């Protein structure tokens, strides 16, 4: 069956450092969505990637979809304390259901 691994599970950075989380699939994905969940909060949609090799930017966040559509990454440049939270990749699985990855928890300290 389809398996998607998200790495790392946890990362602790100093404010100003960069951060990257990866989402890797054993099979080709039709699309990837990224969500952010602040501590104690609910997931909030960030972006959707559909095309092979697609790169999208939102201020300090850069999202990539691999050429083979089997992996994706989220890169944050110069992290801030407001970036703290858990970042989930999600993909469309069977029966058009969205399946959430395991998430990467980001901690940012001053």
Partner 1 sequence: DGGITQSPKYLFRKEGQNVTLSCEQNLNHDAMYWYRQDPGQGLRLIYYSQIVNDFQKGDIAEGYSVSREKKESFPLTVTSAQKNPTAFYLCASSIKPPDTQYFGPGTRLTVL
Residue 27 per-residue DSSP state: S
- Please state the separation of Cα 50 from the chain's center in Å: 14
Among the listed residues 28, 58, 81, 99, the single contact to partner 1 using CB under 8 A: 99
- Applying the rule CB under 8 A, the residues between 13 and 72 that interact with partner 1 are 31, 33, 41-45, 48
Strand partners, 92: 98
Please, is 67 exposed, middle or buried when counting C-beta atoms within 10 Å of its C-beta (0-12, 13-18, 19+)?
exposed
DSSP 64-95: EE-TTSSEEEEEESS--GGG-EEEEEEEE-GG
**Among residues 99 and 109, whose Cβ is nearest to partner 1?**
99
Considering the complex, state which of residue 82 and residue 96 has its C-beta at the smaller distance from partner 1. 96
Q: Can residue 103 be called a binding residue for partner 1 (CB under 8 A)?
A: yes
Region near partner 1 per CB under 8 A, out of 17-25, 55-63, 77-85, 93-101: 93-101
**What is the binding site for partner 1 (CB under 8 A)?**
31, 33, 41-45, 48, 88, 92, 95-103, 105
């Amino acid at each position: 069956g389809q398996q998607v691994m998200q790495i790392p599970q946890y990362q602790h950075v100093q404010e100003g450092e960069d951060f990257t989380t990866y989402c890797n699939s054993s099979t080709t994905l039709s699309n990837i969505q990224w969500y952010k969940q602040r501590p104690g909060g609910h997931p909030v949609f960030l972006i959707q990637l559909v095309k092979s090799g697609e790169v999208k930017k939102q201020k300090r966040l850069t999202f990539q979809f691999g050429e083979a559509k089997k992996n994706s990454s989220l890169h944050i440049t110069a992290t801030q304390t407001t970036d703290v939270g858990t970042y989930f990749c999600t993909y469309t699985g069977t029966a058009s259901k969205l399946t959430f990855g395991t998430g990467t928890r980001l901690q940012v300290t001053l």
